[in-house]
Amino acid sequence: MTQPDEYQMGLSSRKAIYIPFPQAVPCSYILDMEHCLGNNPIACGKCQDVCEKQAINYDDADEVITREVGAIIVAIGLDVYDPTEMDEYGYTRYDNVITSMEFERLICAGGPTAGHFVRPGDSQRPKRIGFVQCVGSRNPKIGRPWCSNICCMNTVKDTLLLADHYPDVENVVYYQDIRAFGKSFEDMFQRSKEAGTRYVRGLPGDVEENPTNGNLLVTVENTTSGKLERHELDMLVLSVGVEPPKDLAKISGLLTLSKTSDGFLMESHPKLKPVDAPTRGVYFAGFCESPKDIKDSVCQAGAAASRAGALLNAGKITIEAITSQIDAESCTKCGVCARVCPYGAIQWKKGEVAVVIEAACAGCGACGAACQFGSITMRHFTDAQLVAQVRAIMAEKPKEKVMVFACNWCSYAGGDMAGISRIQYPATNRVMRTMCSARVSEDMVLEAFRVGAPIVLVSGCHYADCHYINANRQTVQRVQRLWNKLEKAGVRPERLQLEWISAAEGQKFAQVMKQMEELRQTVTDEEIAHAMEALKPKPKKKPKPKAEPAAAAAP
C-alpha cells in the first residue's frame, strides 16, 4: 500500500506505516488507518508480524484527553497558498512550474531525489530557473493583501543554494519589491546578485510551455526599463505566500479570540502586549498571529512562554476592578448577557440565572447595556452613574451642547490627542467616557434626547482595534435599533451619529466635532421639544397576577 508522501509534497510515496519525516519527534512509526489494509478484519498484518516489540495495535484509536491548565499558548502555524487559482502561471498545466515548497523538497538531501535537483517533467537538471515572487501575497484582487514576510529571503537563499550547487545555473527572479530588512539579509541579497542572479522588477503576465522540450516561455514587463521581455526557462518556481491556518476559526471560537482583517489572530496590543491575546491567559507564538520568519517566531515563542510562566508563578492574579455583577433576583434567565459577552465570561444555561466569571470578565459592559431588566451592574460604570452624568451634562443650556459618548481606549484618547496636538474644534461637545462603546445602552442615548440634547454621538474604536475583542459590533447593532426607534417616534434619526476614532486620530476627532456642531445648528427648538416628549418612557405595564391554582383557592 503506497500513498503520496505529504512531507515530500507528493513528489514521492510512502507506505501506510511510516515515519512522518526524518526529524520527527518522537522518531517512531505511525499507522495511516485510512489506507491500512490490516484493520477489521486483518487483511495484511505484515507490520505486526515483523514488529518484535509487539508495538502495533490496530484497535488503538484517537482519544480526547482533558487537562486543566492555567495558560494556553496558541502556536498552530500556517497554511501555504495554493496557486491553482492563479492560472496565468500555469501551475496546473505545466509540469515544470513548481511551488517554492516543492523546490525545497527537490533540492533537499533528504528529499525525493536525494538532493539531485531535477525538473519534474523529464528528470533533467534545469539550467535556467525563474522565481516568481508574491504569488498569493500582496494581491488584494485575490483577497490576500498582506506581505508573507518570508518569501523574498527564501528565494534569495534558494538562488545562493543553486549557485553553490550548480554554478552553471542561470537564475532570474521576478519581483515587485525585495524586502530584505532583517539582520544580514541585505548582505545575502547582494551576494545573490554577485553570484549572477538577475533580478527583474515586474511579475510575469503570461507563461507558455514549449511542447517539444517542456521549456517555459515567460512574458514579463520589466518596469525598470519599461520594456516587454520574453525569457525561455527550464523551470519556474512560484514563491507562494502563506495564509492563516484553516483551523484558526475553530481555535478562535474556542478561546474567544479575535482576528484582524487579514484573518490572523489579533494581539491584545500591538506594541505593549504583542504576544498576549485579548483573552487573559492566552498567548500567541508564530505565524498564527502574523507572517514571520523563524527568528521572529522563536523570539515570540520565548516571550509567550515567559508571559505564561509569569502568570503561572505569580500565585495570584489581579482581576479588573470594573467587572459586571448579576442580580440573581431580578435576572429573568434570558441569556442575552451570555450571548453578547465577547469573552465568554458569563455562564448561562436555559432556565438558570446567569453567572459572571470575574477572572474572565474584562469589563467592557456590553452585557450591562444589553440587559433589558437592569439586572447587571457594572462596577464603577453603573447605569445610575452614567444616566446621572448625562443629566448633569445636559442640565444647563442643553440645546447648545453635543452629547458625546467616547470609549476609554480609542475615542477618548483621540480627543486627548486632538488636545495635546493643539487642534482647534468647537467647544460645544461634552464628552462622557465609558470603557467601551458597547457600554452605552439604548436608554442612555434616549435619556440624552429626553433631557434636550440636539445631537448624540456614540464613538468607539475601529473594528480592528476594539479593546474588548469585538464588543463594538454590539454598538453598531444598538445604534441601528436606535435609528429605527427614533424614526418611529418622529425624531430625525440623523441626530444620532456613530463614529470610529482611534487614539491616534486627533485630527479625525476634531473634524467629527466640527461636523457634529454643523449638524447641531440644523436642529430646531421644535425638534428638540418633540424628541423630549416623544421619547418619554412609557409607564411599564404591571404584570397580571397569576391565577391561584383551583386546589389552593378551595377551602
Partner 1 sequence: MATTETFRCMMCGHEYQEQVERGEDKERSCPKCRSNSIRHLRGAGKK
Which residues bind to partner 1, rule: CB under 8 A?
A: 462-464, 470, 473, 479-480, 483, 493-494, 496-500, 515, 519
- Minimal distance, residue 78 CB to partner 1, in Å: 22
Nearer to partner 1, 166 or 483 (CB): 483
Residues 6+ apart with CB under 8 A from 490: 530, 534
Alpha-carbon distance of 295 to 214, in angstroms, equals: 39
Nearer to partner 1, 278 or 286 (CB): 278
- Minimal distance, residue 505 CB to partner 1, in Å: 12
Which candidate, 200, 213, 33, places its Cα nearest to that of 121? 213
Nearer to partner 1, 209 or 499 (CB): 499
DSSP type of residue 242 = E
Nearer to partner 1, 124 or 261 (CB): 261
Nearer to partner 1, 144 or 292 (CB): 144
Count of residues making up the chain: 555
Signed CA dihedral, 369, 373, 379, 381: sign only:
positive
DSSP type of residue 358 = T
- Minimal distance, residue 406 CB to partner 1, in Å: 14
- Minimal distance, residue 486 CB to partner 1, in Å: 10
Nearer to partner 1, 17 or 431 (CB): 431
- Minimal distance, residue 120 CB to partner 1, in Å: 38
Nearer to partner 1, 189 or 500 (CB): 500
- Minimal distance, residue 210 CB to partner 1, in Å: 41
- Which residue's C-alpha cell is 429605527? 484
Nearer to partner 1, 161 or 464 (CB): 464
CA dihedral 523, 529, 534, 535 (to 10 degrees): 80
Tell me phi and psi for residue 191, to 5 degrees.
-65, -40
First to last CA, the chain: 84
**Is the Cβ–Cβ distance between 11 and 5 less than 8 Å?**
yes
Which candidate, 475, 365, 465, 455, places its Cα nearest to that of 404? 455
Q: Which runs of consecutive H residues, i.e. helices, occur in 40-88?
A: 46-50
- Minimal distance, residue 291 CB to partner 1, in Å: 21
DSSP type of residue 276 = B
CA dihedral 380, 382, 386, 387 (to 10 degrees): -160
Nearer to partner 1, 154 or 252 (CB): 252
Tell me phi and psi for residue 273, to 5 degrees.
-135, 65
- Minimal distance, residue 489 CB to partner 1, in Å: 16
Please report, for the chain, how many H helices and E strands are present, in that order: 15, 24
Nearer to partner 1, 326 or 528 (CB): 528
- Which residue's C-alpha cell is 459592559? 365
Nearer to partner 1, 58 or 463 (CB): 463
- Minimal distance, residue 403 CB to partner 1, in Å: 15
- Minimal distance, residue 335 CB to partner 1, in Å: 21
- Minimal distance, residue 459 CB to partner 1, in Å: 9
Nearer to partner 1, 300 or 459 (CB): 459
- CB-CB neighbours of 540 under 10 Å: 6
- Minimal distance, residue 273 CB to partner 1, in Å: 22
Alpha-carbon distance of 483 to 494, in angstroms, equals: 8
DSSP annotation string for 184-239: THHHHHHHHHHTT-EEEES-EEEEEE-TTT--EEEEEEETTTTEEEEEEESEEEEE
Alpha-carbon distance of 339 to 352, in angstroms, equals: 14
Helix axes 151-165, 100-107, angle to 10 degrees: 30
Alpha-carbon distance of 547 to 527, in angstroms, equals: 46
Nearer to partner 1, 201 or 259 (CB): 259
DSSP annotation string for 428-485: TEEEEEESSGGG--HHHHHHHHHTT-SEEEEEE--GGG-TTTTTHHHHHHHHHHHHHH
**Is the Cβ–Cβ distance between 152 and 180 less than 8 Å?**
yes
- Minimal distance, residue 519 CB to partner 1, in Å: 8
